[in-house]
Each structure stands twice: as C-alpha cells, then as structure tokens.
Amino acid sequence: MNNSLRYKVFLPPLILLIFAVIASFIDLSAFLSVTTAINNWILNSFDWLFSLGAFFMVVTTIIVFMSPLGRVKIGGKDAKPLLNKWRWGSITICTTTAAGMLFWATAEPLYHLHTPPESLNLVAGSSEAADFALSTMYMHWSITPFTIYAIPALAFALAFYNLSHRFSISAALQPILGRYLSKNVGGAVDSISMFALVAGMASSLGTGALVLSNGITDITGLPSNAFLLGGVIVSIVVSFVASSVSGLHKGIARLSSINTLIFSIIALTALSFGPTQEIFTHGIQALKDYLSEFVIRSFSLELAQNDNWSKSWTVFYWANWMAWAPVVSLFLGKIARGHSVRAFLTVNIIIPASFSLLWMAIFSGMILNLDIASNGAYYDMLNQSGPGAVIYGLLHHLPASGILIGMFVFIAFLAYVTAADSNTEAISSLCIDESNQFQEAENTKIKAKLKIIWGSVIAIVAWVMTAFSGVDGIKMMSNLGGFPALFVVIAMTIALWVWIVRSYKGVFSTDKLQHKHQHDKLAL
C-alpha cells in the first residue's frame, strides 16, 4: 500500500481477531472458559459504571438539546448538507437498529416472558410477565441505546467538522486532552475501538446468516447447514463490499431507502391483520411502565442485589452497544455535515427510537400474545429451532405469509448489507491517514482494498464461528470490547460537556474554530 496506511491501527485488531478465531477453533471450550471468566469479572465489577454511563449520556442529550449548542450547525454556518433528511433518517434507522431489531424483536420477549427476574415474583407466562417483557424491549431498544450511539457521534462530528478535521475517534477527545495529546493517543484508541467493532460485525453477520438461512429453509425446504450458511455469508459480504466501494450516496443511501419502505409495509401488514387491539392496549401500557420506571430500571433498582438478571440482559446490552459506539460514531458523525445539533439528535435518537418502539410494540406484542394463547408453543419453538425461527412462525399467522416471508428475507439481507456497508466505510477510513490531501486519489484506492480485506476477514470469521464453533465465542469478544469502549465513550461524552459549557459562556463560535483550524494548518 503506501505510507498513508496507519499500521498501528490496522494490524493489531487484525492479528488479535485471527488469533481469537484460531484459539476458539482449536479448543472452543477453553477459549469460552477464559473469555467468560473475564466477561463475568467485568460485569460483576463494573455493571454500575455501564448503567451510570448510559444514563449520563441520556441526561447529556437533554442538556445539549436545550442548550445554545443545539443551534450550532455542524460544519459551520455555510456548510451544505451531505444528505437530505429522508436519506439521512433512513440510513440512521437501517445502520443502527435494523439488523438487531429483526433478530430479537420476536425472540427476546419470549425469554423475558418465561424467565423474568426472580426478585420481581412474576409468574412465568402470565400477563404481568408479558407487560414486563414488552416494557423491557422498549428499554433495550429505544432511547438509551440510540443515545449511546448518538452522543459519541455528535462529539466526533463537532470535532471533525468544526475543530480539527482529523478523522479519528480521538479527535473527539481534543476538548479535554488538547490537540497534541489527543493525537498521540489516537492510534491506541482507534485500534481498540476497531477491534471491538470488527468482532461485533462478525458476530452480527453470523447471527444474520442464521436468520436468513432459516428463512431460505422455510421457503425452499433446503437444509440449514454449513454450506447454506457459507453461501448466505458470501452473498452478504459481496453485496456490502460492492455497495461500500460504490460510494456513500450510491450504496448506503439507496439500500436504506428501500429497506425503510419495506420495513414499513411489513409492520403495517402485521398491525392490520394481527391482534391490533391487543397490540395497542399492551403497547400503551408497556410504554407507560417504561417511561414511569425509566430511572429505576436504568439502574436496576427494582431488583434484589443477588438477582443477576440485569447483568445478563440490560448491562450486557449496554456493553454491546458501547463496543460498537466509538467506530459507529465516525460514520454517523461524518454524514451529519450541514445540519444543526438539534436536527442531529432528532434524526439519530428520536426518529430511530420511535421507529423501534413501534416495531417492538407490533412484533414483540404480537409474539407475546400468540405464545400465551398457544400455551408456550413459540417458546418451545425458540428452544428447539433457535431464535431465528420464531419470526417465521409469527409471519405464518398473517395473510399472504409466503410473500411476507420472502419480503422479510429480502429486507433482512438488505439490513445486514446496509449495516456492514456503513461500518466497513468507517473502518477503512480509520485505517488511513487522510491528512495529506495530495494523496486523495491514492487513499481512495487503498480504502477500496481495505474494504475488501475487512469484508473477507469478517466473512471468514463469521462462517467459521457460526458453522463450526457457534457464535458464542465471537459474541463474547464483542462484549469484552465494550469494557475499554466504555471509557472511550464516557470521555467523548465529557468532551461534549466542554462544548456545552462553551456555548453557555458565549465563547463557542464555529467561525472562530474554523479560523483556528486554518491557523493550525499553517503552523504545521
């Protein structure tokens, strides 16, 4: 390649990931034993910090929205939007929620229905347990997780467009560390964050392949085996690499618009022909519970100290979201140019959270209703055939189920392609030093090669772990990545508070910052 490649960022996560795959393939039980022990230590020792950090970011969102910082335009007052709001919103929905939402919307609530926290004394399979399950889906898939993505992304967007123009996660730490110190720690911060995301992408791709292979089996009757999984993974990877190489506007934006439209059609069909009244009734009740108990459940205060349910679910989720947040923030921040901070928070939190709430109300509410009515038949399906099979069991209850299942398989494919597309774009950009504008053409070629390399590595990891070792090992690697990412995300949030204070003092000025950036360039 050339001297633009950041080897300290590129090589460590690549080597670690390959080592993890080899270790898990040689002795999966030993590998899982070690990583599980480390993961349990992290959750037992720092569960309070994950909860506090997530809640701190929610509070930060409210303060930012009401502060003078909310009026600031990302990129300065003359910056032109990179994307219109429809495409921007579609990309946000499809790259941050779609993949996980498809997989867990029908599977996760069944776990909560039949194995609720012991300290709440809920009867498994009861209507009370169903209300708890649906409100828990709102907790895990709405405001808090999107805030975990949005706050670091906003800190990066302001630092990148309004301050340093340095494409690095550490650029967002400049307000608290200073320009030179933040740059010096940049390689380590970027490398750690990238490893967490790449491991998470492999896990997500493996999980997505299971959903898709189950769908193909449902439609065609083909056996779901290693060969089918391999074919699905190759199809996804070839598609997202081709889409990513084609460019942001041609690839991600087009796929996201199609995906969002089909998502809406399937959701409206399920709402219209499913148990509509029950969906509305239980959805509204669960929303009331979620909002009224938000603070209590953010810190799991309703559970007894010896009840580990929150560590297995809520804290586990926060760790996973935080593992992805630093690198995802690069992509979300980069496409935000030309919009105000308030518009950024609306598009990255309010819109996807609202979409997710509606999706969970419809599909989580419907699967809970069907499972209770069938005396746990869908929970049995979950245990016997795996989480990926449950959604197809639900779709069979709707009219024109064959068409809906075909559409669902199609959007599931597009969802994983779109999410992988955006993340591959961020990973490849992170591996390159783009400060030398005279090498822009060469950097573009290198970035295309990196997308192919990372796409191939992620595909191999996902196939090996899914077909031969199971996804548990690589999922654990992803969640272990949440621990160092936690401190990165908290630091990025604190940096955003510096912007807030400046805005209240009246010293925040994009014009001054742009002028300062030009002075820094001349000094270099």
Give the model confidence (pLDDT) of 275-304 as tens digits.
Answer: 999 999 999 999 999 999 999 999 999 999
Confidence (pTM)? 0.87
Per-residue pLDDT at 379: 96
pLDDT in tens, 16-33: 878 877 887 788 778 778
β-bridge mates for residue 5, sequence order: 432
Q: Quote the tokens at residue 414.
A: 């597009």
Residue pLDDT, tens place only, 112-128: 999 999 999 999 999 99
pLDDT digits (tens, 9 = 90+) for 342-375: 999 999 999 999 999 999 999 999 999 999 999 9
pLDDT value, residue 512: 44
Q: Which residues touch 50 (CB under 8 Å, ≥6 apart)?
A: 43, 315, 318, 319, 322, 482, 486
Q: Which of 49-58, 416-425, 512-521 has the highest mean pLDDT?
A: 49-58
Do the beta carbons of residue 169 and residue 9 sit within 8 Å?
A: no
Q: Which residue has the higher pLDDT, 137 or 242?
A: 137
Domain boundary assignment for the chain? 7-14+45-505
Choices 3.40.50, 1.20.120, 1.10.8, 1.20.1740: CATH for 7-14+45-505: 1.20.1740
pLDDT value at residue 516: 43
Average pLDDT estimate for 179-204? 77
pLDDT of residue 518: 39
Categorize the per-residue pLDDT at 239 as very low, low, confident or very high, splitting at 50, 70 and 90. Answer: confident
Q: What is the pLDDT of residues 162-187, one digit of tens each?
A: 987 788 888 899 888 887 787 777 77
Residue labelled with tokens 């499913």: 274
Rg (Cα) of the chain, in Å, rounded?
22
Q: What is the per-residue pLDDT across 39-80, written as a single tens digit (0 to 9) for each?
A: 788 888 899 999 999 999 999 999 999 999 999 999 988 899
Dihedral over Cα of 337, 342, 345, 347: its sign? negative
At which residue do the structure tokens 């669902």 appear?
408
CA distance 176 to 491: 8
Beta strands in 352-483 (DSSP E): none
CA distance 442 to 318: 38
Query: Can you say how many angstroms the Cα of residue 391 is from the centroid of all Cα atoms in its chain?
Result: 20
Q: Write the DSSP assignment of 266-286 as a string of letters.
A: HHHHHHHHS-HHHHHHHHHHH
Of 361, 387, 395, nearest to 266 (Cα)?
395
